[in-house]
Amino acid sequence: MNRLATLSEEPFNEEETRKLSKKSHAWKNWVKNLFFSKKSDLKILLSVLACPLFPVSLQPIQSVLQVCSSSQYILEQFKAATGCKKLEKMVVKNIFATGKVSMTMLEEPSLSGSSAVVVAAGATHKGCFVMWEMLPNKWSIELVVGGHKVLAGSDGNVAWRYTPWLGSHPAKGGVRPLRRALQGLDPMAISEAFSVAQYMGEKEMMGVDCFVLKLSAEQNDLADRSDNTAETIKHVTFGYFSQKNGLLVYLEDSYLTRIQSPGGCPRYWETTMGSKIEDYRTVDGVMIAHSGQTHAIITRFGDNLKSGPTILRMEETWMIDDFAFNVQGLSMDCFILPQDVKSNSLEEKLKQTPLFPLDR
């Protein structure tokens, strides 16, 4: 079977797509429209902010001897502050949340001596989402913004995502939690995820004195998320826990991907996301964050970019409308994989058609 051409990320219509007979032409048009076309703003926002996955899979709670004493202390403070022990007694089977989001492409400030491309501020796109979790490792989310719907889910073995421009496709690498859930919505997942974190010291964040914990994706996990044209080089996360109240107040992660077509020069994509987590409220005796703000920066650079690195900045503001534990009627049927993801033909297609960094 001949190798399929790389999927174009440009929002072409069908007539325009047929005209792109060469992969190099498709790639150049994709890059051009991704960074310079106003009509692609919403597509980029949804690719980056809608339903990114956390860098690492959930780990079983480690014993005190296996974890740095400082990290263990910070997590114990967090569990006490959020009421995780009460969650254990409640025997939580599922979590439900609905909320509103607002996404905006920000203007890149002009810096003296910088070759960064100036990207004008775009329109604000508003929408909503609904998220379900069935512990452990089963989750789904449906997010609608500006008339476009993005879906994602996990049946406990395979994570997948649906976008209007790629359809349904499995996420590369092992099953990982939804990053949105770790923005203060699932204290148990936060505790488990950071159970193997490295203590990095103290730092002031947004005027709050914080303890800092660091998580890094293992090399074998990064290899699983790579293919023959795109290599995920690193993915690290920092959690900032308030020294005063023990709550997670900021979550930051970044990942670097190397793209190289046969005969071409390598290009690198670095995506950094930082989320301010606030407005903690009590739900059934457990502290749940009800609002926050995420800033994302995408930097594209490489040896053959004459104008220097290209930078995109975007922002999402979110607010929780409703949150509940142990909703009746939720079953395994809610987490069944889409038929397209199950199909062997699509899996074969995905092996031959690399996903671009924004859709990983």
pLDDT in tens, 177-191: 999 999 999 999 999
Find the helix or strand (DSSP H, E) in which 320 lies.
strand 310-325
The string of pLDDT tens digits covering residues 195-251 is: 889 999 999 999 999 999 999 988 888 888 887 778 889 999 999 999 999 999 999
Q: Sorting pLDDT into bands at 50, 70 and 90, what band is 113?
A: very low
CA 160 to the chain's CA centroid: 13
Residue 5 has pLDDT above 60, yes or no: no
Q: Sorting pLDDT into bands at 50, 70 and 90, what band is 139?
A: very high
The more confident residue out of 341 and 157 is 157
Look-up of token digits 């009627």 = 329
**What is the residue-wise DSSP string for 221-248?**
HHHHT--SSEEEEEEEEEEEEETTT--E
Taking residues 304-308, report their average pLDDT. 64
Angle (CA) 299 24 353, round 5°: 80
The more confident residue out of 59 and 154 is 154
The string of pLDDT tens digits covering residues 318-341 is: 999 999 999 998 888 888 888 877
Q: Sorting pLDDT into bands at 50, 70 and 90, what band is 92?
A: confident
Residue 166 has pLDDT above 70, yes or no: yes
Cα separation, 238 vs 5, whole angstroms? 37
Taking residues 248-255, report their average pLDDT. 96
Q: Sorting pLDDT into bands at 50, 70 and 90, what band is 306?
A: low
